[in-house]
């Protein structure tokens, strides 16, 4: 059974219908059982009966959850699969020491990944392949990523370069559209690696800080940063965009893997 955790400012808020209910529907469609608990009900531990936890998003600027230090400790000590969506990613990252900073973004991002992780096991046919992100992916996977000084971020990479996130050549890079709505985003904790990235590293636009009306690159926000992160050893993920809005396949993969013991 999967635990779906509601991070909204209070139990049964209106935001539940926007951020939690869609996740419930995806899990139900997969044929898995689930419970929903508000984060205030987790009381220091996650019951053993759950195979995994999905921490859902919250409304823009609903950031009360981040003040719950006992929640952070619970997440850090939990050793089963976890996926945190947006606000949930902030919880996952904070639990492992990542810093959350202000960065507002509302709209679509180009998200690119190389299928080096089980969570990408079943990629829908409509998701296209792209080679552009390989060099930066390699730099990030090696832990050299610095958003301000990244050399790969400014270097041209051949679209034919099919290196995967570990720098192995021959693995395809895929691209899809992710929907983001957040006022903050977390930095990547030390024990985590990036699995997917947004933005266009060849785009010279200045980061806008506040995006939405200032998108370039054909309507996509140009800022470049990790969109999916994962703990190096545990199946603990953070996703910045909202896969329950578009890209439900990622939640399905996670649910099937955690219910089937596939991690
Ligand atoms: N959609 C979300 O989960 C947003 C998370 C948080 N409330 C923020 O504004 O950053």
Residues of the chain with pLDDT under 70: 130-171, 199-223
| pLDDT value for 218 | 44
The atom number, within ligand 1, closest to the CA of 180 reads: 1
| pLDDT value for 5 | 98
Q: Write out the DSSP string of the chain.
A: -EEEEE-SSSTT-THIIIIIHHHHHHHHHTT--EEEEEGGGSTT---TT-SEEEE----TT--GGGG-HHHHHHHHH--S-EEEETHHHHHHHHHTTPPEEEEEEEEEEEEEE-S-SGGGSS--TTSEE--TTHHHHHHHHTT---TTT-HHHHS---TT----TTS-TT---EEEEEEEEEEEEEPPPTTEEEEEEES-TT--PPP-SB-SSS-BTTTB-----EEEEEESSS-EEEESS-TTTS-HHHHHHHHHHHHTT--
| pLDDT value for 38 | 97
| pLDDT value for 202 | 52
Residue 182 Cβ contacting ligand 1 at under 6 Å: yes
Residue 62 Cβ contacting ligand 1 at under 6 Å: yes
Query: Which ipTM value was assigned to this complex?
Result: 0.98
Residue 162 Cβ contacting ligand 1 at under 6 Å: no
pTM comes to 0.82
Residue 105 Cβ contacting ligand 1 at under 6 Å: no
| Most ligand 1 atoms within 8 A of CB, residue of 14, 22, 58 to mutate | 58
Domains of the chain with CATH codes:
2-134+187-201+223-258 (3.40.50.880)
Q: Whose CA is nearest to atom 4 of ligand 1?
A: 182
């Amino acid at each position: 059974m999967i635990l779906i955790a509601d991070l909204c400012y209070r139990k049964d808020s209106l935001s539940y219908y926007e951020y939690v209910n869609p996740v419930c529907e995806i899990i139900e469609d997969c044929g898995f059982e689930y419970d929903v608990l508000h984060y205030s009900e987790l009381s220091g531990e996650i019951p053993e009966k759950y195979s995994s936890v999905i921490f859902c998003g919250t409304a823009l600027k609903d950031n009360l959850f981040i003040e719950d230090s006992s929640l952070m400790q619970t997440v850090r000590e939990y050793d089963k699969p976890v996926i945190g969506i947006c606000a949930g990613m902030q919880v996952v990252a904070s639990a492992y020491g990542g810093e959350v900073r202000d960065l507002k973004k509302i709209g679509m991002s180009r998200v690119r990944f190389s299928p080096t992780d089980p969570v990408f096991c079943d990629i829908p046919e409509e998701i296209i392949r792209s080679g552009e992100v390989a060099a930066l992916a390699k730099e990030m996977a090696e832990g050299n990523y610095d958003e301000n000084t990244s050399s790969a971020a400014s270097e041209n990479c051949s679209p034919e370069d099919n290196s995967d996130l570990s720098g192995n050549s021959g693995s395809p890079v895929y691209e899809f559209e992710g929907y983001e709505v957040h006022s903050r985003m977390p930095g990547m904790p030390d024990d985590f690696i990036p699995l997917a990235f947004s933005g266009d590293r060849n785009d010279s636009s200045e980061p806008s800080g506040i995006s939405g009306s200032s998108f370039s690159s054909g309507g996509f926000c140009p800022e470049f940063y990790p969109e999916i992160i994962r703990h190096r050893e545990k199946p603990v993920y953070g996703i910045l965009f909202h896969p329950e809005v578009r890209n439900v396949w990622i939640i399905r993969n996670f649910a099937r893997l955690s219910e089937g013991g596939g991690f």
